[in-house]
Structure 1
Amino acid sequence: MNQSVVKALKLLDFFLEGQKELTLGEITQKSGMPKPTVFRFLSSLEECGMLMKSRHTGQDVRYHLGLKLLELGNVVADQLEIRTISKPWMERLCHDVNEDVLLATLDGNEAVYIEKIESNQKVRLHIRVGKRSNLYTGSGPKLLLAFLSEEQRKNVIAQINIEENADHLIQSEEALFHHLEQIKNQGYSVSVGEQERETIGISYPIRDYSNQVIAALSVSGPVSRMHEQFLKEIQWKTKETALNISRELGYIE
């Protein structure tokens, strides 16, 4: 790909860092490129509809993501068969347990949340569709990592700084490998306070016609609501829902 195109598109990543609007100066500072070059790239992105410009004052001009990206995102979402098949089942599961239901899949060495059904609870998990996560934090990402081939798992884990990134239960590569084997053997994953404090996540695998795990179905909620009997109910219903989705994708037990 043309390097100018790559550099221009990479500027869009700065809007994924929690800021909805950025000035030319802020984008220049983040990119490390000369201001005239950044301005030229931004103008091209604006012309394509990927960025929009708003003028707050004569000197205060800011950029935000354009509607073209929403249009493209909707096309991508519609092409995701698993998302289309999973959504009605996720809605039913959310209705049954009244907790957030999430769907995550692999993209390279990361997990990406491709669907979320929110409960009507006041306290909910703050994970948006499109969010990326490492593969060693949270029940869904860890489940995806656990069901990778041994070689793929080793490659991912080799890139992790365990001491800096592991939660309090995992302090070494050996412990992480053991934890992942446990997840694979029991067929589901549980996390407590890993992505957000005082939350519990429970995830089960979704398989395709070839028996490959292609996604993780998760239910998440605050620890305060997850008493033992309710957890058992969530586990059973999440497992059944994941299996029903898998069957629609061609999986045969």
Structure 2
Amino acid sequence: MSKSLVKAIGLLDYFKIKQNLSLVELAQLTGMPKTTIYRLVNSLEEAGLLIKDRNSQHDVQYRLGIKLLELGKLVEKQLTYKNIALPFMKRLNDELEELVHLTIIEGDEAVYIETIGSKKHIRLVVKVGERAPLYAGSAPKLLLSSKTDEEIYEYFKRVPLNKRTPNTIDNEKEIMKEIYNIREEGYSISRSESFKDTIGFSAPIYDFTGKIVAALGVSTVLTTFEKEKQDLILEKVQSTAEKISYELGYNRID
């Protein structure tokens, strides 16, 4: 992380002391030159992290921007999903002894916000905070399927469909076939699309509005996967995702 970025983010902490601060006050509090403060504050203002207080009677003052509230709500939402899902994820992990993960969309990527590792000797590891493109892997593709067709085609314009493994589907038409199938079946399966020698199973988690807000997934190493367990894993993943959805206030109407 660049020193300028660290300094800029550090400035935000001083707004815990006082709601509104001027450039002079920030310079006094930090011990940094006023020219440096001016440059850092300008960058934070451009990013929406600070805004000018138009009601200030004296020197121009700044306060925390609405962007921080948006980011805070996103973090709060993630924590809510994690807190509700975690007990169910632990039970699923105990039952299947495989890697269990919870994934959400952030921008054009899928982000793993919670993982519980496999209990087996040969194990697949996915870290919390790890990101993946939405077009590859069971959980990312399930999340992509929650978007409208129009949104997905706009996504294709923005994001290059690079192959992560030989099995990665990098053709828009083929990806859309997968998307339609996921919507119809209500779950997603992928084989070595995002990581080599893996198989993943994911099911949607809905909130009280009926919107897909996360994907619950189970992944394992393909070479040790027992094919006869596929139906059991799918049933467990889907039923667990449904329980989490109900905890979020979802009421399914067929």
TM-score class normalised by the smaller sequence? 0.5 to 0.7
SS in 1 for 2:158: coil
Q: 1:127 corresponds to which residue?
A: 126
Seen in structure 2, the aligned counterparts of structure 1 residues 173 and 95 have a Cα distance that, compared at 3 Å, is same
Q: In the aligned structure 2, how far is the partner of 1:89 from the partner of 1:224?
A: 27
Q: In the aligned structure 1, how far is the partner of 2:215 from the partner of 2:147?
A: 12
Seen in structure 2, the aligned counterparts of structure 1 residues 188 and 173 have a Cα distance that, compared at 3 Å, is same
Q: Spell out the pairing of 1:133-148 with structure 2 (5 A cutoff).
A: 133-148=132-147
SS in 1 for 2:169: coil
Q: Identity percentage over the alignment?
A: 36
Instruction: After TM superposition, give the deviation of residue 192 of structure 1 in Å.
Output: 0.8
Q: 2:154 corresponds to which residue?
A: 155
Q: Which amino acid aligns with 1:156?
A: Y
The unaligned stretches of length 5 or more in structure 1 are 11-36, 42-72
Q: What per-residue deviation string (whole Å, max 9, x for no partner) do you get for residues 154-176 of structure 1? A: 11122233465685463421111
Retained in 1: the 8 A contact 2:110–2:140? yes
Cα RMSD, aligned residues only: 3.0
Q: Spell out the pairing of 1:102-251 with structure 2 (5 A cutoff).
A: 102-162=101-161, 168=167, 170-251=169-250
Q: In the aligned structure 1, how far is the partner of 2:138 from the partner of 2:199?
A: 8
Q: In the aligned structure 2, how far is the partner of 1:241 from the partner of 1:212?
A: 17
Q: Which amino acid aligns with 1:83?
A: K
SS in 2 for 1:122: coil
Retained in 2: the 8 A contact 1:105–1:144? yes
Q: In the aligned structure 2, how far is the partner of 1:128 from the partner of 1:139?
A: 16
Q: 2:92 corresponds to which residue?
A: 93
Retained in 1: the 8 A contact 2:165–2:194? no
Q: In the aligned structure 1, how far is the partner of 2:159 from the partner of 2:122?
A: 31
Seen in structure 2, the aligned counterparts of structure 1 residues 251 and 161 have a Cα distance that, compared at 3 Å, is same
Normalised TM-score (structure 2): 0.67
The unaligned stretches of length 5 or more in structure 2 are 10-35, 41-71
SS in 2 for 1:153: helix
Q: 1:56 corresponds to which residue?
A: none
Q: Spell out the pairing of 1:6-45 with structure 2 (5 A cutoff).
A: none
